[in-house]
Amino acid sequence: PSNTYVMPRIHHFVLTNDKGCKVYGTCLTLYEEYVPTAGTKDPYSRRDSVHSTWKEQDIEVTVMEEEEVLKESALYIPRVLCILSTWPYLLAFREYLTQLYRLTLST
């Protein structure tokens, strides 16, 4: 998880087995904002919603509502789309994944 938005990234890799056969992979990594749904246990919950600051000899304590904490500290979770093939059409796979991502944004 990341606290800042990261642009989508493409990366390629090659897997080779013991017989020398290659499998080519193209991955598109997207970062989506994590929004917990009501009634679910949140594995990424922030437990530090109480902040304290020292001012001379007193302690000032501010308790923030859960919604305010979520607004201030958005979480971006990676989602990866991957194509595996025995054919090395890496540019075509990249274009396909990019178009698929664009389709998801338009609908």
The tens place of each residue's pLDDT in the chain, 107 residues long, gives 788 888 999 999 999 999 999 999 999 999 988 877 766 665 555 444 444 454 455 555 555 555 555 555 678 899 999 999 999 999 999 999 999 999 988 87
The sheet with strand 22-33 has its strands ordered as: 9-16, 22-33, 76-85
Cα(1)–Cα(44) distance, integer angstroms: 9
pTM of the model: 0.64
Residue 67 has what pLDDT?
58
Residue 15 has what pLDDT?
97
Residue 47 has what pLDDT?
46
Residue type, 42: D
Residue 45 has what pLDDT?
55
